[in-house]
């Protein structure tokens, strides 16, 4: 097996928690390098990894095949462009870019360079979403007519990551949590016809939006996406109603928590939700009304990197395409325009 030498553009939470454990464990990848301007945190955890002090010097290393751009959103366009021009395949953290125009340019460049370009939408492999997706795909609710997806938290303090809390490109709750919600909606229902959105800062100390509600308009379907930082009593994250029944499910994926605890990824129960997190299915099947709790699917972010390996070595489709990342930004842009104009905005 010819390993894919992979480099990280940072070693903050994203690099430490969401990328390096999977790259390090996967037989098809080599956690080869990291860009850290002053520290050597990655080398302390992964002896033998190369530490570069500049992006330019890292991209000049011809042994690197894949670069993970896991830096603040406003840098994604610039760093991804430089990596593609250096002949690297690229994984970009969500949100893909700040604007649709930037995303479109990167897609064209990747095609010109004959390089693979993917967006890291890891929440597709959350246990809760995989469970909801299975319910929808099996049409256990009939035709979905109304859906609500939440990504709520309680944090009355500002994030220590200043780029998230300081007004500017890529700041605020919409670029931060919005891509998770939007991507999941698009995976289930496709691109909407129109968007209406409302956002504001509910915490008095906030300088950027920390609450958002987005309504996606489809023919015979409405999808509501909500996120906020002042939700102490967490509501169900998935509330789906169809012509035959309903499904209600909490957001209960354990992977982020277990990754922060450095739990062994090879444990047999990896990605397994607690029993108390089962979703409630109330529907009609073959003329019989049922109301029962459904065992959740297992979550596993490694499936994303399995897909990246197959795309680079076996010419299979990417697990998340750059076009799918652009679609998310299209909805995001429409949401911002809707907030500004206070009206429904076509995508």
Domain limit, last residue, from 89, 120, 151: 120
| 38 in a structural domain | yes
Q: Are residues 279 and 140 in the same domain?
A: yes
With a cut of 80, say whether residue 244 has pLDDT above it: yes
The confidence band for 73, taking pLDDT boundaries of 50, 70 and 90, is very high
CB atoms within 10 A of CB 40: 12
Cis peptide before 109 (omega within 30 of 0): no
Which pLDDT value is given to residue 159?
A: 84
- Angle between helices 178-189 and 322-341 in degrees, nearest 10: 110
Q: Are residues 69 and 134 in the same domain?
A: no
Q: Are residues 133 and 203 in the same domain?
A: yes
Domain limit, last residue, from 120, 147, 182: 120
CATH number at residue 158: 3.30.360.10
With a cut of 80, say whether residue 162 has pLDDT above it: no
Q: What is the DSSP letter of 72?
A: -
The answer to whether 216 and 192 are in contact (CB under 8 A) is yes
The confidence band for 148, taking pLDDT boundaries of 50, 70 and 90, is very high
Place of tokens 């070595």: 313
Which pLDDT value is given to residue 253?
A: 96
Which pLDDT value is given to residue 160?
A: 83
Q: Report, as an integer, the average pLDDT of 104-129.
A: 98
Question: What's the order of all strands across the beta sheet hosting 50-52?
Answer: 50-52, 29-35, 4-8, 66-69, 89-93, 117-120
Share of the chain above pLDDT 70, in %: 100
Joined tokens for residue 175: 């670029």
For 276, half-sphere exposure in the C-beta direction (CA atoms, 13 angstrom radius) is: 1
Q: What are phi and psi of 109, to 5 degrees?
A: -65, -40
CA distances from 72 to 7, 123, 136 (A): 16, 18, 34
Q: Report, as an integer, the average pLDDT of 279-288.
A: 96
CA–chain centroid gap for 41, Å, is: 25
| 92 in a structural domain | yes
CA distances from 129 to 42, 65, 99, 248, 276 (A): 31, 31, 26, 12, 16
Q: Are residues 21 and 75 in the same domain?
A: yes
Mean pLDDT of the chain: 96
Kindly write down the DSSP assignment for every residue of 93-155, as one continuous string.
ESS--SSHHHHHHHHHHHHHHT--EEEE-GGGG-HHHHHHHHHHHTTTTSSEEEEEEEEE-B-
Q: Are residues 144 and 284 in the same domain?
A: yes
Which pLDDT value is given to residue 315?
A: 96
Owning domain of residue 228:
123-299+331-346
| 76 in a structural domain | yes
| 310 in a structural domain | no
pLDDT tens-digit readout, 334-345: 999 999 998 888
The answer to whether 53 and 36 are in contact (CB under 8 A) is yes
With a cut of 80, say whether residue 180 has pLDDT above it: yes
| 307 in a structural domain | no
CA distances from 80 to 72, 116, 122, 150, 321 (A): 12, 11, 19, 30, 14
| 286 in a structural domain | yes
Number of domains in the chain: 2
CA–chain centroid gap for 339, Å, is: 23
The confidence band for 229, taking pLDDT boundaries of 50, 70 and 90, is very high
Which pLDDT value is given to residue 158?
A: 85
Which pLDDT value is given to residue 6?
A: 98
Query: Could you tell me which of 205, 217, 228, 257 has the C-alpha nearest to residue 344?
Result: 217
H or E element, residue 297: none
Query: Could you tell me which of 45, 110, 135, 77 has the C-alpha nearest to residue 329?
Result: 77
Q: Report, as an integer, the average pLDDT of 320-338.
A: 97
Distance between CA 191 and CA 67 in Å, rounded?
Answer: 29
Q: Are residues 187 and 283 in the same domain?
A: yes
CA distances from 84 to 65, 115, 236, 318 (A): 10, 7, 41, 16
Helix%, strand%, coil% for the chain, nearest 5: 35, 25, 40
Q: Are residues 158 and 276 in the same domain?
A: yes
């Amino acid at each position: 097996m010819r390993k894919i030498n992979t480099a990280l553009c940072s070693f903050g939470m994203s690099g430490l928690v969401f990328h390096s454990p999977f790259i390090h464990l996967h037989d098809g990848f080599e956690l080869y390098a990291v860009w850290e301007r002053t520290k050597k945190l990655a080398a302390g955890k992964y002896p033998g990894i190369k530490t570069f002090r500049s992006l330019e010097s890292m991209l000049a290393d011809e042994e690197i095949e894949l670069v993970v751009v896991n830096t603040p959103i406003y840098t994604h366009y610039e760093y991804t462009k430089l990596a593609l021009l250096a002949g690297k395949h690229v994984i970009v953290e969500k949100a893909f870019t700040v604007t649709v125009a930037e995303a479109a340019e990167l897609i064209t460049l990747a095609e010109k360079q004959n390089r693979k370009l993917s967006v890291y939408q890891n929440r597709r492999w959350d246990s809760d979403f995989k469970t909801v997706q299975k319910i929808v795909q099996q049409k256990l609710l009939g035709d979905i007519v109304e859906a609500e997806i939440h990504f709520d938290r309680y944090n009355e303090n500002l994030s220590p990551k200043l780029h998230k809390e300081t007004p500017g490109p890529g700041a605020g709750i919409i670029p931060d949590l919005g891509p998770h919600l939007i991507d999941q909606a698009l995976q289930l229902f496709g691109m909407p016809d129109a968007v209406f959105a409302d956002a504001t800062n509910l915490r008095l100390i906030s300088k950027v939006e920390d609450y958002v509600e987005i309504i996606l308009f489809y023919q015979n379907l409405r999808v509501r996406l909500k996120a906020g930082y002042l939700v102490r009593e967490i509501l169900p994250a998935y509330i789906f109603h169809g012509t035959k029944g309903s499904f209600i499910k909490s957001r209960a994926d354990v992977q982020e928590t277990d990754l922060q605890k450095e739990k062994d990824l090879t444990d047999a129960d990896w990605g397994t939700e607690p029993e108390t997190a089962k979703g409630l299915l109330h529907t009609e099947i073959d003329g019989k009304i049922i109301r029962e709790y459904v065992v959740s699917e297992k979550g596993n972010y490694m499936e994303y990197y399995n897909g990246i390996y197959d795309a680079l070595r076996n010419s299979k489709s990417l697990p998340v395409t750059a076009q799918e990342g652009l679609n998310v930004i299209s909805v995001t842009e429409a949401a911002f325009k809707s907030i500004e104009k206070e009206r429904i905005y076509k995508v």
